[in-house]
Amino acid sequence: MRACFVHAAAVGNALLGALPHCIKSIRHRSIQFLPDPELFPAATMASGVKVTDEVIAVFNDMKVRKAQANEDEKRKRKKAILFCLSKDLKNIVLDEGKEILLGDIGNTVMDPYQDFVKMLPPDDCRYALYDATYETKETKKEDLVFIFWAPDSAPLKSKMIYASSKDAIKRKFEGE
């Protein structure tokens, strides 16, 4: 499985409407919607925010598929999860209760993508991982998509902190 990075700064719901189509048409395995540098001057600065081990462990669990996994292990796998900044703004942590498990699909979750979109806060920023499944003419594919969510209605301070911390989480996810 490949990781695909999507940066959804200042595009709001327009990205979410287009994302399934983008995923179906991925050719180079990398989608980037970069923020306007004039709107987000802090996007190029390091924020000093650290990524917790718990976040890295979740990424590694989602990235690695076990061929011999039993049904119970498969049901506990995450389809989507949100990350946020801690209250003291020093760490990237799991957003408690904001996940979709594969075992939920068909039971409490009918459309995992729509439930994922509903989990995103309308007035604050988040990072997310979404395990996207799509079909090409040749085969069925799966990609782990990293999303930086920054809706227009989020406070400017939040957008700047999340934008400047994005590189920290990307580096951890890429193994640097």
Which residue, among 80, 88, 39, 90, has the nearest Cα to 59 in the 3D structure?
Answer: 80
Answer yes or no: is pLDDT of 121 > 90.
yes
Average pLDDT, the chain: 75
Confidence band of 63 (pLDDT split at 50, 70, 90): confident
Maximum mean pLDDT: which of 13-27, 35-49, 64-78: 64-78
Residue burial 26-41, b: 16+ Cβ < 10 Å; e: rest: beeeebebebeeeebe
Q: Please give the biggest Cα pair distance in the chain.
A: 50
Q: Per the confidence metrics, is the pTM higher than 0.85?
A: no
Cα gap 139→157, rounded to integer Å = 43
Cα gap 147→126, rounded to integer Å = 8
**Mean pLDDT calculated for residue range 67-86:** 80
Q: Could you tell me what percent of the chain has a pLDDT over 90? A: 29
